[in-house]
C-alpha cells in the first residue's frame, strides 16, 4: 500500500494467453507494480499505466488494485474486471473465463460473508472461514 491508500494483491491462475498488448513497451511485473505504487493514487491512474505496457508477464497471475475511494479492479492481463458491487472478490481463477455461478469455494464463501454483513471491516476480513473452504475448481 502506498501513502495515498492504493494497494494491490496478486493471485496465481492457470495460463491465460496475453495477446492484446504484445506490441506495447515490455516491462516486468515487479517494475510495473513499483511504478504504480510510486506514481498512482487511484485505480483510474493504475489502468492508464497498465494500458501503456506489454502485459505478457501476467499470463499466470492476476492483480486486484483498490484505492482509498473504494474503487477497485481486477487486471487479468488483457481483461479488466471493474467492481460492480460494493465489494470485489478475487481468488485463483480467471473470472473473465467463467460465468457465474462460480465453482470456487473460497470465492463463494467470501461473497456470502460480504453479502450477509452490514459492515465490511478488518475483523470480517480476518475470519478464517474463507481460508478453510478449499481451493478453486474453475
Distance CA 65, CA 88 (A): 10
Q: How confident is the model at residue 133 (pLDDT cuts 50, 70, 90)?
A: low
Position 36 scores a pLDDT of 98
Residues 96, 76 contacting (CB under 8 angstroms): yes
Q: How far is CA 75 from CA 36, 40, 51, 78, 92, in A?
A: 13, 16, 11, 7, 13
User: Cell numbers at residue 49, please?
Assistant: 499505466
> Measured between alpha carbons, how far is 42 from 65 in angstroms, rounded to an integer?
9
* Secondary structure of 48-105 in HEC code, one letter for each residue: HHHHCEECHHHCCEEEEEECCCCCEEEEECCEEEECCCCCCCCCCCCHHHCCCCCCCH
Residue 106, all three cell numbers:
473460497
- Judging by DSSP bridges, how do beta strands 53-54 and 25-26 pair with one another? parallel
Mean pLDDT of 85-97: 93
Q: Percent of the chain having pLDDT more than 90?
A: 72
- Which pLDDT value is given to residue 115? 87
Confidence of residue 116 (pLDDT cuts 50, 70, 90): confident
For 32-70, write each residue's pLDDT tens digit: 999 999 999 999 999 999 999 999 999 999 999 999 999
- Distance between CA atoms of residues 76 and 63, nearest Å: 7
pLDDT for res 95: 95
Average pLDDT across the chain, whole number: 90
Domain boundaries, the chain: 7-132
Residue 99 to residue 137: CA distance in whole angstroms: 13
Q: Residue 28's pLDDT is what?
A: 94
Amino acid at each position: 500500500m502506498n501513502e495515498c491508500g492504493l494497494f494491490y494483491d496478486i493471485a496465481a491462475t492457470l495460463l491465460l494467453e496475453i495477446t492484446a498488448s504484445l506490441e506495447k513497451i515490455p516491462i516486468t511485473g515487479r517494475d510495473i507494480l513499483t511504478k504504480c505504487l510510486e506514481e498512482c493514487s487511484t485505480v483510474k491512474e493504475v489502468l492508464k499505466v497498465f494500458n501503456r505496457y506489454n502485459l505478457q508477464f501476467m499470463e499466470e497471475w492476476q492483480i486486484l488494485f483498490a484505492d482509498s475511494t473504494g474503487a477497485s479492479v481486477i487486471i487479468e492481463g488483457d481483461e479488466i474486471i471493474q467492481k460492480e458491487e460494493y465489494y470485489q472478490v478475487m481468488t485463483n481463477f480467471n473470472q473473465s473465463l467463467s460465468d457465474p455461478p462460480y465453482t470456487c469455494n473460497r470465492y463463494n464463501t467470501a461473497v456470502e460473508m460480504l453479502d450477509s454483513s452490514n459492515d465490511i471491516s478488518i475483523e470480517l476480513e480476518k475470519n478464517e472461514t474463507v481460508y478453510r473452504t478449499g481451493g478453486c475448481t474453475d
